[in-house]
Amino acid sequence: MTNDTSKPGLIVVVTGLSGSGKTCALKNLEDNGYMAIDNLPALLLSKFLALRKESSGDFIKLAVGMDGRDPDLTREFEKVFREAREMGYELRVLFLEADDNALVKRFSETRRSHPLAGDMALNEAIRLERKNLAPLREISDLIIDTSEIKAPKLRELVLKRYVNAEAKSNLSIEVLSFGFKKGIPPEADLVLDVRFVPNPFYVDKLRYLDGRDAEVKNYVLSFPVTLEFLTKLSDMLLFLIPLYRMTGKSYLTIAMGCTGGQHRSVALAEHLWEKLRLEFGDSGSPVALRHRDIV
């Protein structure tokens, strides 16, 4: 999707089943340059756009939350959306849904009542809303089932379609060293255990240095097994990283761990960072380096 700035603006209507993540999607758009309005009655959209046109002619990116709480939505959405397009706006519809079990669990965990429940059981309210919104689902540009995905993945999907769709995916890569004795970094996508490399800690002159020092790097890289590992690792990453970029992945953290996170993992992370920076740094993928456990 490419934003046409010859038009007065882009409108993304965020709709779907209650409890499916609409508020999260709307917030993600708001955080990335959209003006966001939640629970806007459908019949007020045209009036809002007319007022906006009178007050400012600037291009606007608008994210509007509409759902089953508005009784006019299912009756009037075709007319309302047509009017917006006739005013020149590019309008897209994002529909979020989830299976009944996932929705029941979410409402139970948050102790919120379903907006259509009234005297009905929760399952009945979910089925009624699903039926009511079926015509809107049919005309949606993007349908996301959030039954098995968490908020970060939903954010990634929304931003890929409505924020970064016109640009080449900019996969941010981080090479991270760590020590297993302090735990595996939770942000890691790939975890590599380099404790098979001989440990500089047991060499007196290297013990109080770390992997950033040339002496430690030279020691770690002096072993054939280390060089063979780095060759095979480079081949694997040169294969994987373009595939990750194609899927729209935003971040890739490659974590290398040794016992304490001072020598082996640091030296190898430095080496890998240099390699990846040369390979991908000029192609839209920034490559960062971080040593978690250096003291």
Question: In the numeric block, which tokens belong to residue 84?
Answer: 């917006």
In terms of domains, do 158 and 181 share one?
Answer: no
Q: What is the mean pLDDT of residues 193-213?
A: 96
What whole-number distance in Å separates Cα of residue 209 and Cα of residue 216? 7
The predicted pLDDT at position 170 comes to: 67
What whole-number distance in Å separates Cα of residue 117 and Cα of residue 129? 10
Residue 4 placed within a domain: no
Running DSSP on this structure, what letter comes out for residue 199? P
Decide: pTM greater than 0.85. Answer: no
Q: What is the mean pLDDT of residues 88-116?
A: 89
Classified as helix, coil or strand, 60 is strand
In terms of domains, do 40 and 154 share one?
Answer: yes
Question: In the numeric block, which tokens belong to residue 90?
Answer: 């590019």
Is the pLDDT confidence value at 4 over 70? no
In terms of domains, do 19 and 96 share one?
Answer: yes
Sign, Cα dihedral of 235, 239, 245, 249? negative
Query: Which of 117, 136, 162 lies at the terminal end of a domain, its last residue?
Result: 162
In terms of domains, do 65 and 209 share one?
Answer: no
Residue 158 placed within a domain: yes
Question: In the numeric block, which tokens belong to residue 31?
Answer: 């955080």
Is the pLDDT confidence value at 165 over 60? no
In terms of domains, do 205 and 238 share one?
Answer: yes
Residue 3 placed within a domain: no
In terms of domains, do 152 and 189 share one?
Answer: no
Which residue from 91, 94, 67, 95 is spatially nearest to 79, judged by alpha carbons?
91
The predicted pLDDT at position 206 comes to: 96
In terms of domains, do 58 and 131 share one?
Answer: yes
pLDDT tens digit string along 206-258? 999 999 999 999 999 999 999 999 999 999 999 999 888 776 677 899 999 99
In terms of domains, do 118 and 21 share one?
Answer: yes
Q: What is the mean pLDDT of residues 16-40?
A: 92
Query: Which of 162, 187, 219 lies at the terminal end of a domain, its last residue?
Result: 162
Decide: 173 and 280 in contact? Cβ < 8 Å. yes
What whole-number distance in Å separates Cα of residue 158 and Cα of residue 245? 16
pLDDT tens digit string along 250-294? 789 999 999 999 999 999 999 999 999 998 876 667 899 999 998
Amino acid symbol at 55: S
Q: How far is residue 84 from each of residues 7, 29, 89, measured CA to CA in Å?
A: 11, 20, 6
Query: Which of 144, 162, 180 lies at the terminal end of a domain, its last residue?
Result: 162
In terms of domains, do 190 and 158 share one?
Answer: no
8-17, 54-63, 66-75, 108-117: which is most confident: 8-17
Find the domain containing 242 and state its range.
Answer: 172-291
82-91, 96-105, 191-200, 235-244: which is most confident: 191-200
Number of domains in the chain: 2
What whole-number distance in Å separates Cα of residue 127 and Cα of residue 108? 16
Which residue from 263, 238, 262 is spatially nearest to 254, judged by alpha carbons?
238
Find the CATH number of the domain harbouring 134.
Answer: 3.40.50.300
In terms of domains, do 36 and 176 share one?
Answer: no
Decide: 62 and 35 in contact? Cβ < 8 Å. yes
Tell me the average pLDDT of the chain: 89
Residue 133 placed within a domain: yes
In terms of domains, do 203 and 60 share one?
Answer: no
Residue 167 placed within a domain: no
Which residue from 267, 263, 261, 259 is spatially nearest to 221, judged by alpha carbons?
267
In terms of domains, do 158 and 178 share one?
Answer: no
Residue 2 placed within a domain: no
Q: What is the mean pLDDT of residues 35-47?
A: 92
Q: What is the mean pLDDT of residues 135-142?
A: 91
